[in-house]
Amino acid sequence: MSELPAPQEETLEGSGKSQTPGQLAWGQLRRNRVAMAAGIVVCLLYLMAIFGEFISPYPVADIRPALYHHPPTPIVWHDAAGHFSLQPYALGMKKDAKDEYVPDPTVRAPIRLFNTGFAYKLLWIVPLRIHLFGTSGDFPFFPLGTDHLGRDVFSRLVVGSQVSLSIGLVAIAITFSIGLLVGGAAGFYGGRVDNVLMRLCEVLQSIPSFYLLIALAGILPTKIPPAVTFLMIIGILSFVGWAGLARVIRGITLSVREREYVEAARALGVSDFKIIVRHLLPSTFTIAIVNATLAIPGFILAEAGLSFLGLGIRDPVPSWGNMLNEARDLEVLTRATWILAPGFLIFITVIAFNTLGDGLRDALDPKLRR
């Protein structure tokens, strides 16, 4: 894809205004309704992460051992007399003769918007006590039920997105930058550079990540603050992940570099770096985007695997991955299916990111201009 010449003042069709490539792309994207919907979903996900504690009714560390595996609280839109009301009510639940939870219509509490709940810091700065919704006092209101220690799944899901969405994004950003550059360079230069870089990739791919992690877990002092743990996890995941991508990119680049426009760019004296980044890599965007969306759930779940080694995000800090660890059990899966909520959100995230990515790629591709 060669660079477009600078836009002229008048366009051929006399539409009056000229547009930068960026504006062209944005316009193209706006017209792709599915991609826009995906984009909105992604924004909502990140909003959920940012405003996590505002949205969640309970603190993530609050355990209620007596209420383990409580099903999602039933919400009804009629008052005690049975008349329809705009005010939703949460019903209590009690255990029946078979020791299963059933709704108890005699016990109810109104669900209020902008309820007063536990103290937290909005955007990590502003101390507040207002939450988006909730019941007052101690009434158990669990929109998505509770886990094996009686913690509210919905609150943990929402706050857990902070960890999971950022791990996914940051790990991909790092993996992809390194992978794309190394792969692009290897493909472009070929010969010895290619050989050295690819062999390096092979060594990295062969390094036993499991042992590396255990070794790290054994060496690092146990008192490291969670923020550092978090960064370390991302670092480890990225370090282990980029070699495979580099190989795929290199394969494509090997093919693309023989094209005429690359020769032309070289003849024009464009720097190697620019050729790689602006001419060769764009051909790899599709694969890169597909890989990115394939990698997201991989990274989120890999973080959960780390917790088996004592390295991941530690209780009580939630992450989608470590919440799913509880669901590794048929008993839980069949009797407390709401524990799978994080899996469903991962699914949504994958779809959203991928569709958005597809849309972005389409928008940036001048061949598809309409």
Partner 1 sequence: MSSIVATRLGRSRIALLLLPLLMAGCTGKSDGGNASNGGGGGGATPSVKVDTAGMLKTDATGKFGGRFTDATNAEPKTFNFIISKETSSSIPLSQVFDGLISRNPKTLAIDPDLAESWTTSPDGKTWTFKLRQGIKWSDGQPFSADDVVFTLSVIFDEKVDTTLRDVMKINGKPWAYKKIDDSTVQIDLPEPLGVFFEVAQFPILPKHKLESAWKAGKFNSTWGVDTNPAELVGTGPFTLAGYRVGESLTFKRNPYYWRLDASGKQLPFFDGGVTQVVPDLNTVILKFKSKETDYVALRPEDWKGMQADEASGGYKTVDNGPTWGFTYLGFNQNARATAVPDYKRAWFSKKEFRQAVSYAIDRDAMVQTVFRGLGVPLWSPVSTANTAFYDPNVKKYPHNPAMAKQLLAGLGMTDKSGTGMLVDSAGHPVEFTLFAASGNNISAAICTLIQDNLKQVGIKVDVTPMQFNALVTKINGSFDWEAVVLGFTGGVEPYTGKSIWTSPGRMHVWNPQEATPATPWEADIDKIFAAAGKETDTAKRKVLYNQFQEIVGEQQPIIFLVTAKSLGAIRNRMVGMKPNALGGFRWNMYEISAQ
Partner 2 sequence: MIRFLLKRLLNMLPLVIGISFISFAILRLAPGDFVTTLSQDPNLSKEAVAQMRAEYGLDKPWLVQYFLWLFNALRLNFGYSLAYHIPVVTLMMQRLGNTLLLSICALAFSWGVAIPLGVCAAVRRNTWIDRFVSLFAFAGISTPGFFLALLLLLFAQKTGWFPIGGMHSSDADLMSPSERLWDVARHLMLPTLVLGIGGCAGIMRQMRGSLLDTLRENYITASRARGLSERVVIWKHGFRNAINPLITIFGFSLAGLLSGAALVENVMSWPGLGRLILEAVQSGDQYVVMGSFVMSATLLLLGNLFSDVLLAVTDPRIKLGRG
**Secondary structure class of 119 (helix, strand, coil):** strand
How many CB atoms are located within 10 Å of the residue 178 CB?
17
| Residue 311 CB, nearest approach to partner 1 (Å) | 8
Q: Which helix (H) or strand (E) holds 288?
A: helix 285-307
Shorter beta-carbon distance to partner 1: residue 258 or 331: 331
Residue 203 engages partner 2 in binding (rule: CB under 8 A): yes
| Residue 350 CB, nearest approach to partner 1 (Å) | 26
Among 316, 347, 368, 369, binds partner 1 (CB under 8 A): 316
**Secondary structure class of 187 (helix, strand, coil):** helix
Residue 307 engages partner 2 in binding (rule: CB under 8 A): no
Are 187 and 194 spatial neighbours (Cβ–Cβ below 8 Å)?
yes
**21-58: b (≥16 Cβ within 10 Å) or e:** eeebbeebbeebeebeebbebbeebeebbbebbbbbbb
Residue 190 engages partner 1 in binding (rule: CB under 8 A): no
Residue 33 engages partner 1 in binding (rule: CB under 8 A): no
Q: Which helix (H) or strand (E) holds 109?
A: strand 101-110
Report the partner that residue 189 touches, choosing among partner 1, partner 2, none (CB closer than 5 to 8 A by kind): partner 2
Residue 207 engages partner 2 in binding (rule: CB under 8 A): yes
Report the partner that residue 263 touches, choosing among partner 1, partner 2, none (CB closer than 5 to 8 A by kind): none
Report the partner that residue 350 touches, choosing among partner 2, partner 1, none (CB closer than 5 to 8 A by kind): partner 2
Cα–Cα dist 305/310, whole Å: 9
Shorter beta-carbon distance to partner 1: residue 101 or 133: 101
Cα–Cα dist 334/69, whole Å: 12
Cα–Cα dist 67/142, whole Å: 10
275 HSE (CA, 13 A, CB side): 22
Residue 102 engages partner 1 in binding (rule: CB under 8 A): no
Q: Of residues 316-355, which lie at the interface with partner 2 (CB under 8 A)?
A: 324, 327-328, 330, 333-334, 343, 346-347, 350-351, 354
Query: What would the x/- binding string for partner 1 be over residues 137 to 156, using CB under 8 A?
Result: -----------xxx------
Beta strand 112-122 pairing with 101-110: unpaired
Residue 126 engages partner 1 in binding (rule: CB under 8 A): no
User: How many residues bind partner 1, per CB under 8 A?
Assistant: 30
Report the partner that residue 252 touches, choosing among partner 1, partner 2, none (CB closer than 5 to 8 A by kind): partner 2
Shorter beta-carbon distance to partner 1: residue 14 or 225: 225
Q: Which helix (H) or strand (E) holds 52?
A: helix 52-55
Residue 307 engages partner 1 in binding (rule: CB under 8 A): yes
Cα–Cα dist 133/116, whole Å: 8
Among 59, 88, 150, 251, binds partner 2 (CB under 8 A): 251
Shorter beta-carbon distance to partner 1: residue 65 or 127: 65
